[in-house]
């Protein structure tokens, strides 16, 4: 088949996939390892004292802040008069809350009494009446209110929460969603408080596990409202306190647009769609399930993607056979051209609030957990993922 024909076919397939795209659960963003490529000399000039560095990212200079800027003693001193009220105990509440507690900061958790999160918090050692409270009580005690409710719940509960965010407090988010799309969420933040965000680029489970390993998640931070004049510094300090290894600056708008876009694209939705398309074509052409899975997912996740994560895309090309290299070099522009219009549609759908509206509509339903579970059950029962379960058992380390 000529590349042109193939390209047209791909564009058609990509178009139909886009129109049937389903809401996926919150992204578990892939973490790029910071390991340096061993055979290459570093080309990134690093300038700056302490850990604050100006780094040339492929021609654009950006400042990053690192854990070295905020040693534990400095964090303890900086937040010595603060009570950090963590509202919500989902994935981020768990990761950020336990890291703050282990860092020795004065952190309390606020969740619905006797709900699933209340029980989970008790299992993790939070004590009712001591550092675990109903939401409103925790907000009243806090000087820094960390709103880590689900994005839909932030919108639902805002009428009760807003009057409690009084002058002198700081309001913290882990996503730009609520303030940026305020026309849809109705989260109109008070004008007389600092409003900041720290967005870890990964699941709260990873925020916790990397911290425990002595490593750190990469996060972005942003300032929506700087009343005190210290909002930037406070956000950088909080980013480190919750377990970030380094943090780069963004805006609330850029954070929410890139995050919603990324998780629907390469991080989750896009990659899932691509796996399914490749697997189905292999199966339709007579390949066995194990072969189709190995050639689609297992080799990707076990052999090739870790090389990209550790050393870069060029290194992965270098590490493959001349045959594989030639084919991939010929085909990547075809995939890119076919998929770019889908990504453009996706970005627009994020930017114009459609994705936010869809998320609010779905996740505000009282039975959203049951509905989500039924969609996940559909994924679980797909042949490809059932095959994956068996293939993983065959890995020697799982025997």
Determine whether the annotation assigns residue 117 to a binding site: no
Residue from 17, 78, 83, 88 binding ligand NAP (CB under 6 A): 88
Determine whether the annotation assigns residue 167 to a binding site: no
Q: Does 272 bind ligand NAP (CB under 6 A)?
A: no
Q: Does 111 bind ligand NAP (CB under 6 A)?
A: yes
Q: Does 388 bind ligand NAP (CB under 6 A)?
A: no
Kindly give the residue spans of alpha helices, DSSP state H, lying in the chain: 3-19, 72-78, 91-102, 116-123, 135-141, 151-161, 177-180, 182-185, 204-212, 231-241, 252-264, 269-284, 289-293, 299, 305-311, 313-319, 322-351, 354-363, 368-380, 383-394
Q: Does 157 bind ligand NAP (CB under 6 A)?
A: yes
Task: At 274, list the tokens.
Answer: 């691509």
∠ CA 91-92-95, rounded to 5°: 90
**DSSP assignment string, 228-265:** SS-HHHHHHHHHHHTTEEEEEE--HHHHHHHHHHHHHT
Which residue's CB is nearer to ligand NAP, number 150 or number 218?
150
Q: Does 179 bind ligand NAP (CB under 6 A)?
A: no
Q: Does 86 bind ligand NAP (CB under 6 A)?
A: no
How many CB atoms within 10 Å of residue 4? Answer: 9
Which residue's CB is nearer to ligand NAP, number 208 or number 283?
208
Helix (H, G, I), strand (E, B) or coil at 216: coil
Which residue's CB is nearer to ligand NAP, number 176 or number 273?
176
Q: Does 112 bind ligand NAP (CB under 6 A)?
A: yes
Shortest approach of ligand NAP to residue 301 CB, angstroms? 19
Q: Does 92 bind ligand NAP (CB under 6 A)?
A: yes
Contact 117, 86 (CB under 8 A): no
Which distant-in-sequence residues (6+ apart) come within 8 Å of 75 by Cβ? Answer: 103, 105, 237, 240, 241
Which residue's CB is nearer to ligand NAP, number 29 or number 294?
29
Q: Does 270 bind ligand NAP (CB under 6 A)?
A: no
Contact 187, 175 (CB under 8 A): no
Which residue's CB is nearer to ligand NAP, number 90 or number 289?
90
Q: Does 172 bind ligand NAP (CB under 6 A)?
A: no
> What angle separates helix 354-363 from helix 368-380, to the nearest 10 degrees?
100
Task: At 185, list the tokens.
Answer: 């969420």
Q: Which stretch binds ligand NAP (CB under 6 A): 89-97, 287-295, 310-318, 390-398?
A: 89-97
The span from the CA of 356 to the CA of 378, in Å, is 24
Q: What is the number of alpha carbons within 13 Å of residue 363 lying toward its C-beta?
A: 19
Q: Does 243 bind ligand NAP (CB under 6 A)?
A: no
Which residue's CB is nearer to ligand NAP, number 177 or number 311?
177
Q: Which stretch binds ligand NAP (CB under 6 A): 26-34, 64-72, 287-295, 346-354?
A: 26-34
Q: Which stretch binds ligand NAP (CB under 6 A): 52-60, 137-145, 147-155, 273-281?
A: 147-155
Q: Does 128 bind ligand NAP (CB under 6 A)?
A: no
Task: At 215, list the tokens.
Answer: 């490593």
272 is catalytic: no
Nearest to 220 by CA among 252, 187, 193, 194: 252
Residue from 18, 79, 91, 269 binding ligand NAP (CB under 6 A): 91
Q: Provide the annotated binding site for substrate.
A: 321
Binding site for ligand NAP (CB under 6 A): 26-28, 88-93, 111-112, 115-117, 148-151, 153, 156-157, 174-175, 177, 199-200, 203-204
- Give catalytic residues, as residue numbers: 175
């Amino acid at each position: 088949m000529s590349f042109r024909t193939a390209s047209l076919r791909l564009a058609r397939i990509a178009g139909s996939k886009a129109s049937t795209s389903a809401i996926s659960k919150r992204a578990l963003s892939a973490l790029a390892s910071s390991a340096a490529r061993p055979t290459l000399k570093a080309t990134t000039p690093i300038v700056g004292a302490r850990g604050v560095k100006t780094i040339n990212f492929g021609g654009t200079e950006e400042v990053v802040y690192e854990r070295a800027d905020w040693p534990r003693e400095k964090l303890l001193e900086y937040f010595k008069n603060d009570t950090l009220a963590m509202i919500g105990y989902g994935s981020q509440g768990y990761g950020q809350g336990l890291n703050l507690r282990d860092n020795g900061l004065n952190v309390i958790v606020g969740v619905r009494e006797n709900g699933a999160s209340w029980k989970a918090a008790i299992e993790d050692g939070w004590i009712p009446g001591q550092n675990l409270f109903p939401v409103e009580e925790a907000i009243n005690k806090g000087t820094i209110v960390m709103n880590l409710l689900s994005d839909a719940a932030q919108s639902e509960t805002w009428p009760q929460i807003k009057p409690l965010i009084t002058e002198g407090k700081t309001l913290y988010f882990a996503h730009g969603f609520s303030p940026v799309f305020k026309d849809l969420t109705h989260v109109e933040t008070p004008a007389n408080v600092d409003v900041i965000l720290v967005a870890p680029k990964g699941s709260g489970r990873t925020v916790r596990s990397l911290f425990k390993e002595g490593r750190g998640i990469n996060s972005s931070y942003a300032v929506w409202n700087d009343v005190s004049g210290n909002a930037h510094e406070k956000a950088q300090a909080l980013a480190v306190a919750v377990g970030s290894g380094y943090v780069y600056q963004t805006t609330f708008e850029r954070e929410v647009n890139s995050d919603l876009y990324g998780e629907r694209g390469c991080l989750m939705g896009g990659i899932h769609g691509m796996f399914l398309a490749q697997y189905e074509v292999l199966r339709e052409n007579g390949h066995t399930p194990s072969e189709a899975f190995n050639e689609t997912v297992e080799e990707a996740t076990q052999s090739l993607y870790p090389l990209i994560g550790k050393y870069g895309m060029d290194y992965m090309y270098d590490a493959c056979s001349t045959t594989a290299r030639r084919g991939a070099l010929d085909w990547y522009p075809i995939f890119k051209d076919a998929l770019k219009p889908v990504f453009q549609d996706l970005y627009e759908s994020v930017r114009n609030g459609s994705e936010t509206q869809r998320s609010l509509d779905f996740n505000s339903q009282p039975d959203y957990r049951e509905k989500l579970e039924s969609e996940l059950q559909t994924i679980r029962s797909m042949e490809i993922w059932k095959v994956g379960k068996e293939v993983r058992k065959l890995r020697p380390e799982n025997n």
